[in-house]
Amino acid sequence: MAVDRRTFLAGTALASLRLSGACAQNAPARIGLLTVKTGPLAQGGNQMEQGIVTFLKEKNNTLGGRKVELISADTGGNPAGAKTKAQELIERDHVDVIIGPLAAFELLAITDYVEQAQVPIISLAAAENVTQRHPNKFLIRPSATSAQCCHPMADYAVKELKLKRMATISEDFAFGHEQVAGFQRVFEDAGGKIVRKLWPPLVTPDYTPFIAEIGKVDGVFMGFAGSNPLKFVRAYADLGLKDTPLTGGWTAMDDALLKSQGDEAIGVYSAHFYSSDLDTPSNKRFVAAMLKDYDNLPGGYSAGMYIAGQCIEAALEKTGGKVDDKIALMAALRNVSLTDTPRGPFHFDYLGNVVGDVFIRRCERKNGKLVNTIIKTYHDVSQFWTYDEKWFLTEPVYSRDYPPAKNLEQ
Amino acid sequence: MSILLILAVNSIALGGVLFLLSAGFSLIFGLMRIPNLMHGSFFMLGAYLSVSFARAGLGFWGAALLSCAAMAVIGGVIERVLLRRLAGQDLAQVLLTLAMSFIIADVCLMIWTGDPIQPPTPSGLQGAIRVFSVIFPIFRLVIVLIAVTIAIALWLLIDWTRLGAMIRAGVDDAAIARVVGIRVSRLFTLVFCLGAALAAFGGAIAGPFLSIYPGLDADMLPLALIVVILGGIGSLLGALLGSFLIGFLYNFGQAMFPDLAYVILFLPMLLVLVLRPQGLFGRTPA
Amino acid sequence: MTARKLTLAAALVVLATLPLWLVSAFYINIATQILFWAIAAAALNVLVGYAGLVSLGHAGLFGIAGYVAALLLGAGHGHPVAILAALVATVAASATFAVLSLRSTGIGFLMITLTLGQIVWGVAYRWASLTNGDNGVNVASRPTPFGVDLSSPTSFYYATFATFLLAMAMMAVFVRSPFGASVRGTRDQATRMNTLGYHVWLIRFLAFLFSGLWTGIAGLLFVYYNEFVSPQVLALQSSAEMLLMVIAGGTATLLGPVVGAAIVVIIKNVASAYVERWNLLLGVIFVVIIIFMPEGLLPGLTRLWRTHRRTASTAIAKGSVPISEGPTR
């Protein structure tokens, strides 16, 4: 028994030695995808995989002259799983770049480890501090920080929708906390009041008890992610709240969710960094391919991964297809600045976070189908909104209790 | 005020679903003396099956009934082929049900993938009715009606038929029941099938209300445990009252004490187990 | 006996020199995980195998140690304080668990421990202002006992190995001691023990504390290894996996749980690369073991192999419940 085990383990150890030692130019570069295929966030995780697979298919698995291969890992949508899978990808599969993970709390659990291992990571996870107060030098984020879209949403809510008293509701995890905090800061700085903050757990079968707590408000802001928005918006309508304007972050009304929604989604506002009817050549190709292969409109998760692929391609073009020099690869990734992408033009700030357009949309039915129509575009939105960057970074990170909610009513 | 009413209706609806889940669990526990740790998985599998049958064109109710029948068969097979081998070894049977719950959960993941599914509310029962400016979703009220109807049917079965008398005898004292000539092992299979079918029906109906997702089994099983421990093992009345009680505790607990939501649920169970193991209406202790 | 001792010695040598011939950090880490889960499984076996009490709540004790340490470290305390507080908290929790659950045995005990485990999980999961809920708690650094830095996989492996050896030694002492014998006595013949004047409840209570202490130590190793703790580790599934480790390896020997831990950890981490649905595999193994090899994988396989070789006249030992027929040594 002992002999068998040793041989098995030694054999695999030798195999892993061989892989790490010889990274010949002909061996494909390896991209490790940390995605979620189980649980409420699986909705987004599946799309992430679809997005990158679509991109690689379009480019025939060759980026910047180098063949690439994709290794997918299911984190289960929780930090412990993310840690385990990150270790597998880095230590066992020896990937050159990691794309993902999906959720903020997953990224927070692995960011130190990945930075120590010096593996470039392109994440859609919105955890604010990873590009603010504890920046990860090996990270770029082409999607948005948690609050990046919520700042303009709050601006729109005050200035155009003229809302004054709002309730917020989002899942009780990092992404939810940060979105709501960002919305609250801009909303209250412009004179509005957040009078109630509700935090259902990530897995909530039934939102009714929470919706019952909303009370008398002018509007509601929701930060739900994954498939939770579907349940929430339906319950919201079922309980007769359609007259109260509902606003949301980008995950709450992602274009990919529209297929599973009905009339309850009409009239809901959201702020997103991506829209499926944005008119750029790459987006047109991307949307067509997604409709053909998966019969669904792409949303932020798949677009984000497509764009991540574009970033890798641009970086590989600069390094001549080489991935061994991680520092050089990372510098090339940070310097990426593209115009023809599914989200339009963007570049990265010095902390690795994207600066690009944010669109305010309203859901309506056109020709029998639900669409999110763009009603306003904010250009060059950074993670700091209109605040002074230095001031912003001296403030504590957005959290469940920061900025403190001074206007809560019982 | 309307918050309380909305929560109350929701509690009753949840209670209805819990009754369908726990009635079978209670009977199995009472008769076979084992907590069936697969019961949550039966609920979830029944829900998934119902969705697939509905998508195949059967309509909501047809799909629910077919899923019910399918689960009865699956439950029967599991009982005869696996549990029967460990006859008399209660603890081993419990562990077996635990292991099977892993298996069923993974099979569901393989077939229906990890994405949560929210089946649409059956047509005709969508929307809500307004009563004194409070809105009640129609489907949830229907769930309650169904649960009560089934409760009455079960009560008629258990208290008024010969079969029911045999089951009651088995719950009271299986050994003596055998002596008297009752085929207790056949009753085991029957009750197991019945329990599985009830759980499946509960799952099918709860689909539009709770949605179906990996982990639903792990969320529902503790609730069934709590209901049955509180209400008393083997007692249908206990299961009914316990279900509504837990429905209320769950909804009001989540709304009012979110930090302690689970403590509020499990504490009564703990107290009962420690202080009054036979629950409120049961006759035999856990 | 000598063959056994030789195998044991060989295994020890293999484990002691592991990082030298198993170069990949990934596999060293797997070995570390096997070792601390083995401690947890052995601790659980004190109750399951030796006291005859099956607990489905031990993940709660495991997690309490992890959370107390992680939260104290996050609040700025040093490692000695965090570790000590975690162990004290775990033993206190074990005492509470014991007082509540020892009112019953068999299935009643199982249900009460299950409930207690769920309550602890519920607190970790929903009392977000205390435990950070779903987000979990990050641990910034590992302790430096005697100035030794434990941040590399190899050094942490050795620290875990040392703890493992200590745990196994303590278990051996426990098993061979008069106290250990009395614990087995309460498992086999509780009434007779009572008649003979043994305080059955107290014996079980102390066994529970012993079990809880080592579960806590394993929990500490877990949280330092991962540098992270989240409610997942306290869930029912986690308790079930610990129980599976004990049963898979066999409750009859000291090393049974170690083998069981190895099986479960390897399937979870290594097999998951080749088999997508490893939960299913775990469940199937569990079922097969319960039905065909209730005394555990190794003893069961040995028995089946032996009976296969012997003539039909030798009676096959009936598959007995692992719980009630535990170790006699």
Higher pLDDT: A294 or A19? It is A294
Find, among A72, A147, A143, the residue nearest to A307 by Cα.
A143
Helices B216-231/B261-275 angle, 10° precision: 40
pLDDT single digits (tens) C175-231: 899 999 999 888 888 888 888 888 889 999 999 999 999 999 999 999 999 888 988
> What is the arithmetic mean of pLDDT over B42-64?
92
B248 touching A, CB under 8 A? no
pLDDT single digits (tens) A195-222: 999 998 887 878 888 888 888 899 999 9
Domain boundaries, position A6: 2-146+279-356
pLDDT single digits (tens) A85-104: 898 899 888 999 999 899 98
- Are A359 and A374 within 8 A, CB to CB? yes
Q: Which residue of A has its CA nearest to C222?
A: A80
Higher pLDDT: C1 or C261? It is C261
- Identify the band that residue B218 occupies on the pLDDT scale cut at 50, 70 and 90: confident
- Phi (first) and psi of residue A70, to 5 degrees: -110, 130
pLDDT of residue C166: 95
Examine residue A345 and state whether it is found in any structural domain, yes or no: yes
* Same domain membership, residue A287 and residue A212: no
pLDDT of residue B1: 55
Q: Which residue of B has its CA nearest to A77?
A: B114
Q: Which of B10, B126, B219, B250 to mutate to test the interface with A (most CBs of A within 10 A)?
A: B10
d(CA A397, CA A394): 9
- Are A396 and A371 within 8 A, CB to CB? no
Taking an 8 Å cut-off on Cβ atoms, the answer to whether A105 and C134 are in contact is yes
C22 touching A, CB under 8 A? yes
> Would the pLDDT of C312 be above 50?
no
A10 touching C, CB under 8 A? yes
Least Cα separation, residue C63 to chain B (angstroms):
16
Least Cα separation, residue A364 to chain C (angstroms):
35
Tell me, what's the ipTM?
0.83
> Would the pLDDT of A14 be above 50?
no
Task: Show residues of chain A in contact with C19, CB under 8 Å.
Answer: none
The two three-digit tokens of residue A309, written as one number: 């692929």
Nearest-CB residue to A9 (from C27, C128, C269): C27
> Would the pLDDT of A32 be above 90?
yes
Q: Please report which residue ranges of B82-183 form alpha helices under DSSP H.
A: 90-112, 138-160, 162-172, 174-179
**Positions of E strands within chain C:** 137-138, 228-229
Residue A375 to residues A102, A125, A243, B19, C179, Cα–Cα distance (Å): 28, 26, 20, 48, 77
Taking CB atoms and an 8 Å cut-off, how many pairs form between chains A and C? 80
Examine residue B284 and state whether it is found in any structural domain, yes or no: no
Examine residue A401 and state whether it is found in any structural domain, yes or no: no
* Same domain membership, residue A114 and residue A248: no
Q: Return the SS3 of A396.
A: coil
d(CA A130, CA A107): 8
Task: Show residues of chain B in contact with C119, CB under 8 Å.
Answer: 262-263, 266-267, 270
Q: Which of A304-308, B43-47, C279-283 has the lowest mean pLDDT?
A: C279-283
B81 touching C, CB under 8 A? no
Give the CA dihedral A198, A204, A207, A208, nearest 10 degrees: -110
Residue C98 to residues A155, B272, C108, C244, Cα–Cα distance (Å): 56, 16, 13, 21
- Identify the band that residue B234 occupies on the pLDDT scale cut at 50, 70 and 90: confident
CATH architecture of C28-309: Orthogonal Bundle (1.10)
pLDDT single digits (tens) C113-157: 998 999 999 888 888 778 888 778 888 788 888 778 888 888 899
Do the strands C228-229 and C137-138 form a parallel or antiparallel pair, or are they unpaired? Answer: antiparallel
- Contacts for B78-86: CB closer than 8 Å, 24+ residues apart: B78/B38, B78/B192, B79/B188, B79/B189, B79/B192, B79/B193, B80/B189, B82/C287, B82/C291, B83/B32, B83/B188, B83/B192, B84/B185, B84/B188, B85/C291, B86/C290, B86/C291
Task: Show residues of chain B in contact with C323, CB under 8 Å.
Answer: 91-92
Residue A366 to residues A6, A117, A279, C9, Cα–Cα distance (Å): 64, 49, 18, 75
Task: Show residues of chain A in contact with C135, CB under 8 Å.
Answer: 79, 105, 108, 173-174
**Positions of E strands within A9-118:** 29-35, 62-63, 66-74, 97-99
Examine residue A88 and state whether it is found in any structural domain, yes or no: yes
Task: Name residues whose C-beta falls within 8 Å of residue A56's C-beta, 6 or more positions apart in sequence.
Answer: A63, A68, A70, A309
pLDDT of residue B266: 86
Nearest-CB residue to C228 (from A6, A80, A199): A80
> Would the pLDDT of A373 be above 80?
yes
pTM: 0.85
What is chain C's Cα-based Rg?
A: 20
CATH number for A110: 3.40.50.2300
Q: Which residue of A has its CA nearest to B262?
A: A201
Examine residue A253 and state whether it is found in any structural domain, yes or no: yes
Domain boundaries, position B150: 2-275
Q: Return the SS3 of A367.
A: coil
> Would the pLDDT of B186 be above 90?
no
Task: Show residues of chain A in contact with B114, CB under 8 Å.
Answer: 36-39, 42, 45-46, 74
A62 touching C, CB under 8 A? no
pLDDT single digits (tens) B114-139: 777 888 888 777 777 777 666 777 88
Burial class, C217, CB count within 10 angstroms (exposed 0-12 / middle 13-18 / buried 19+): buried
- Identify the band that residue B284 occupies on the pLDDT scale cut at 50, 70 and 90: low
Examine residue B283 and state whether it is found in any structural domain, yes or no: no
Nearest-CB residue to B269 (from C115, C290, C323): C115
B137 touching A, CB under 8 A? yes
d(CA A200, CA C302): 52
- Are A42 and B114 within 8 A, CB to CB? yes
Q: Return the SS3 of C107.
A: helix
| Strand (E) or helix (H) holding C192 | helix C190-195
Burial class, C14, CB count within 10 angstroms (exposed 0-12 / middle 13-18 / buried 19+): middle
* Same domain membership, residue A268 and residue A250: yes
pLDDT of residue A18: 42
* Same domain membership, residue A263 and residue A292: no
**What is the number of structural domains in chain B?**
1
Taking an 8 Å cut-off on Cβ atoms, the answer to whether B109 and A39 are in contact is no
Task: Show residues of chain C in contact with A128, CB under 8 Å.
Answer: none
> What is the arithmetic mean of pLDDT over A73-78?
84
Find, among B190, B47, B68, B21, the residue nearest to B118 by Cα.
B47
- Are A190 and A159 within 8 A, CB to CB? yes
Taking an 8 Å cut-off on Cβ atoms, the answer to whether B3 and A213 are in contact is yes
d(CA A128, CA A402): 13
Task: Show residues of chain A in contact with B214, CB under 8 Å.
Answer: 38-39
Q: Return the SS3 of C314.
A: coil
Give the CA dihedral B86, B90, B94, B100, nearest 10 degrees: 10
Match 């049958």 to its residue by tokens: B53
Least Cα separation, residue A83 to chain C (angstroms):
8
Least Cα separation, residue B76 to chain C (angstroms):
17
B99 touching C, CB under 8 A? yes
d(CA A268, CA A245): 7
Least Cα separation, residue C36 to chain B (angstroms):
23
Taking an 8 Å cut-off on Cβ atoms, the answer to whether C27 and A12 are in contact is yes
Higher pLDDT: A240 or C58? It is C58
pLDDT single digits (tens) C248-300: 888 878 888 998 999 888 888 777 667 667 778 888 988 988 888 877 776 77
Where are the domains positioned within chain C?
A: 28-309
Q: Which of B88-102, B158-172, C133-147 has the lowest mean pLDDT?
A: C133-147
> What is the arithmetic mean of pLDDT over C86-111?
91
pLDDT of residue A128: 87
d(CA C207, CA C185): 12
Q: Return the SS3 of C45.
A: helix
Examine residue A26 and state whether it is found in any structural domain, yes or no: yes
> Would the pLDDT of A188 be above 60?
yes
Higher pLDDT: C324 or A76? It is A76
Q: Give the chains touching A; criterion: ≥3 Cβ pairs < 8 Å.
A: B, C
Least Cα separation, residue B91 to chain A (angstroms):
31
pLDDT of residue C90: 96
Task: Show residues of chain A in contact with B109, CB under 8 Å.
Answer: 38
Taking an 8 Å cut-off on Cβ atoms, the answer to whether C23 and A92 are in contact is no
B258 touching A, CB under 8 A? yes
Q: Return the SS3 of A139.
A: strand
Examine residue B230 and state whether it is found in any structural domain, yes or no: yes
d(CA A239, CA C201): 54
d(CA A312, CA A97): 9
**What is the number of structural domains in chain A?**
2
pLDDT of residue C269: 79
Q: Give the chains touching B; criterion: ≥3 Cβ pairs < 8 Å.
A: A, C
> Would the pLDDT of C323 be above 60?
no
